[in-house]
Structure 1
Amino acid sequence: MRLPRFAVAAVLAATLLAQGPRADAQTPQKLRFQASFPSSSMIFDNLKFWAERVKAMSGGRLEIEVAPAGTIVPAFEVLDAVHKKVIDGGHTAAAYWVGKQRAATLFGPAPGGPFGMDMVDYMGWLHDGGGLELYRELYQDQLKRDVVPLPLTSVANQVLGWFKRPVSSWEDLKGRKCRETGITAELFSKSGMSPVNMPGGEIVPAGERGVIECGEWVGPAEDMKIGFQTVWKHYYMPSTHEPATVLELLINAEVWKGLKPDLQEIIKTATWEATFRSQTITNKLNAEALKELREKHGVKIERTPDDILRKTLEAWDQIAKDEAEKNPFFKKVHESQRAYASQIVPARRFVIPPYEAGANYYWPEKN
């Protein structure tokens, strides 16, 4: 017997009600994250992009509110705030936690790569060389912080920095009061430099007041956005102190476990996209910034003396050697990186032509 139309409609309505509300009508899950970086930084822009991608890929089921440094907690308290669930997550740098465990610097940014690795090599070690497991061990077992770490945001090779006066050699760094953080501060202190630790948003004001006479942050585009060019005019690059800088996303472990598996995968996928996007965008913006710094702001773009590049690595190797002798976890991570780099770095050097080969042929440097 054929049912009347109204009966068919009633059956359909009852079926839909029994199934509950549609997925797209669900109330979105909302999380709150804070960065260790100022709102004026490109790093914070990338965090916002990441949050937008998570929302888009989840169909609006997961919304992440992001705030810059100092909004909820100070920049260097993000880790503890995530652990205590003051915030659900944070965007920060592992190197900020070297005072808690020196091995933190090996998870970015680490001097020398380490072992000559660039950003792609470092990401390979994390995902295919056992790095992520060691990363989780750093926080869960060593630092006793209940957080889940994921790599997020590449800021490319960091430059040596900005100076009030020209720099001619490693020894010429002696006595200069410069903004440096983490292991990098200890490294450059070997030259006789007097490092001063401070968040990124405080560097330019400190330079204006004469508290410091030099400092480093990231690279041309990021530095210009913060305003280094208004204080100093001598800008030195490249550097070997942070050649593969990848920052981190920290998520409270309880919050992470409370996310559905597909949302966890969306977050992971979005970190990949945002990290590699930040690298490509940084390359383009750095090129534009260098032109503007020269032509509009009168900044002198100068090449870092070779002995600084070499002695930076020598100083780091000694620091790492000394630390590995007394810190089993540092040694464990460092040896893992060495094993991975020993395969990848020499092979890439053999397979891939030097960047200068094409760059110098098509774009020879002007004297």
Structure 2
Amino acid sequence: MNKTTTPAPRRRFLKSATAGAVGAGAMVAPAIVSAQSPTSMRWQSTWPSKDIFHEYALDFAKKVNDMTGGELKIEVLPAGAVVPAFGLLEAVAKGTLDGGHGVLGYHYGKQNALALWNSGPAFGMDANMLLSWHKYGGGKELLAKLYASIGITTVQSFLYGPMATQPLGWFKKPITKPEDFKGLKFRTNGLAIDLFTAMGAAVNALPGGEIVPAMDRGLLDAAEFNNATSDRLLGFPDVSKICMLQSYHQSAETFEIMFNKPKYDALPEKMRAVIAGAVEAASADMSWKSIDRYSKDYVELKGKDKVKFYKTPDSVLQVQLKLWSAILEKKSSENALFKEIVESQKAFAERAVAWEQDTFVSRRMAVGHFFGAPKKA
């Protein structure tokens, strides 16, 4: 055999190895070329950075960022960073922002029926039941229909995060009767504006970060916002030491997560599925966190901040219910979509609340057994 001749097996090996190397290169190169950078989204909340509500917005963003392995990165700015709190819907619809975190009641001025997801007694439902109606009782479809009626077709909306019943508010002196609201300069939002206006108050719908400064300057006599933690962080105890608990003006409310729809639709199907899961995970986590944090701050408000809490008199609650029924009747006669939403909520509530009332055992009896009668304020 000629020494310069390569044996056939070796020739085949070299040929195979060379082809393999070229093939590997052909596979690796496109992977490197097609590797995409993470999709980034700039969001804004409708809340001041110090409010726990902004923390909830950050919690949701972190869940999405983590669950997508960093393929989607949401950055959430506080209210006013890009647009005013009440300008969030338009900013997301136009694509000025990629998304946002707020509540439907803040869009009240564009279509008052939007506030049916956050104002009033919700026919006896709590916030979690309201979310059940939204997901399974037709609420989601009605919201899309309502948005379309005002030309909002470029927003993908998700509702989540059941809120606890909100206090009646912070006052200079305790509210003892419905007439105490006459002439009172009062802050609220959504359809609660109609309710307290009907009670005789002069209502101003300010975003969260502007309420305490307005009370401090005397532009407001009283105000409500949401919960013990938010109210404490926003500084309510610095301008008032009297808080009235229990009210029907916002006894069932939820948060809204918004995406710019064209940007949302452009995401891979798998990523959109992750977002849907993150919404529900964040909803559960928010409800658990709120119980822990609100109860701690309630203790701090009573102890460290020397706030006096009073139960809203039944006479005030009864007037709220009477006026609410009148508001629903009037607005339903003026707005067909308003009427459709009211009828849908009421039908769902009639079934769900009856089941709940018949099934759930009294927690008040158990609390009295283990901790005794509650101390009066």
Give the TM bin, normalised by the shorter chain.
over 0.9
Secondary structure at 1:239 match in 2:
coil
What does 1:216-227 align with in structure 2 at a 5 Å threshold?
A: 216-227=224-235
Partner of 1:87: 97
CA distance in 2, matches of 1:15, 1:361: 74
Q: Is the contact made by 1:69 and 1:75 (CA closer than 8 Å) also made in structure 2? A: yes
CA distance in 1, matches of 2:17, 2:317: 81
Note if 1:31 corresponds to 2:61.
Answer: no
Q: Is the contact made by 1:82 and 1:252 (CA closer than 8 Å) also made in structure 2? A: yes
CA distance in 2, matches of 1:284, 1:174: 36
Q: Deviations 1:313-351 (Å, cap 9, x if unpaired)?
A: 221111011111121000111111111111111001101
CA distance in 1, matches of 2:251, 2:29: 57
1:53 to 57, 63, 67: 63
Change (3 A) 1:309 1:327: same
Task: State the one-letter code of the partner of 1:16.
Answer: M
Change (3 A) 1:22 1:43: farther
Report the number of matched residues.
Answer: 364
CA distance in 2, matches of 1:26, 1:144: 31
CA distance in 2, matches of 1:78, 1:334: 26
Q: Is the contact made by 2:119 and 2:190 (CA closer than 8 Å) also made in structure 1? A: no
Partner of 2:5: none
Unaligned runs of 5+ residues in structure 1 are none
Q: Is the contact made by 1:175 and 1:192 (CA closer than 8 Å) also made in structure 2? A: yes
Task: State the one-letter code of the partner of 1:334.
Answer: V
Q: Deviations 1:133-176 (Å, cap 9, x if unpaired)?
A: 11111112344342111113333221111111121011122221
Secondary structure at 1:168 match in 2:
coil
Partner of 1:211: 219
Task: Give the structure-1-normalised TM-score.
Answer: 0.94
Q: Percent identity?
A: 33
Partner of 1:308: 316
Partner of 2:31: 20
Secondary structure at 2:177 match in 1:
coil
How far the C-alpha of 1:53 sits from its partner, in A, is 0.7
CA distance in 1, matches of 2:360, 2:23: 62
2:120 to 111, 114, 128: 111
**RMSD after superposition:** 1.9
Q: Deviations 1:206-225 (Å, cap 9, x if unpaired)?
A: 11111111111111111101
Deviates more, 1:186-195 or 1:151-160: 151-160
What does 1:127-276 align with in structure 2 at a 5 Å threshold?
A: 127-276=135-284
Partner of 1:294: 302
Shift >4 Å, 4+ stretches: 1-9
How far the C-alpha of 1:55 sits from its partner, in A, is 0.8
Change (3 A) 1:3 1:18: farther
CA distance in 2, matches of 1:7, 1:273: 51
Secondary structure at 1:120 match in 2:
helix
Higher gyration radius (CA) = 2
How far the C-alpha of 1:358 sits from its partner, in A, is 1.9
Q: Is the contact made by 2:47 and 2:53 (CA closer than 8 Å) also made in structure 1? A: yes
Task: State the one-letter code of the partner of 2:304.
Answer: K
Q: Is the contact made by 1:101 and 1:143 (CA closer than 8 Å) also made in structure 2? A: no
Q: Is the contact made by 2:116 and 2:191 (CA closer than 8 Å) also made in structure 1? A: no
Unaligned runs of 5+ residues in structure 2 are 1-8
Deviates more, 1:312-321 or 1:144-153: 144-153
Q: Is the contact made by 1:164 and 1:234 (CA closer than 8 Å) also made in structure 2? A: yes
2:80 to 70, 95, 107: 70
Q: Is the contact made by 1:140 and 1:146 (CA closer than 8 Å) also made in structure 2? A: no
Task: State the one-letter code of the partner of 1:89.
Answer: G
CA distance in 1, matches of 2:19, 2:314: 82
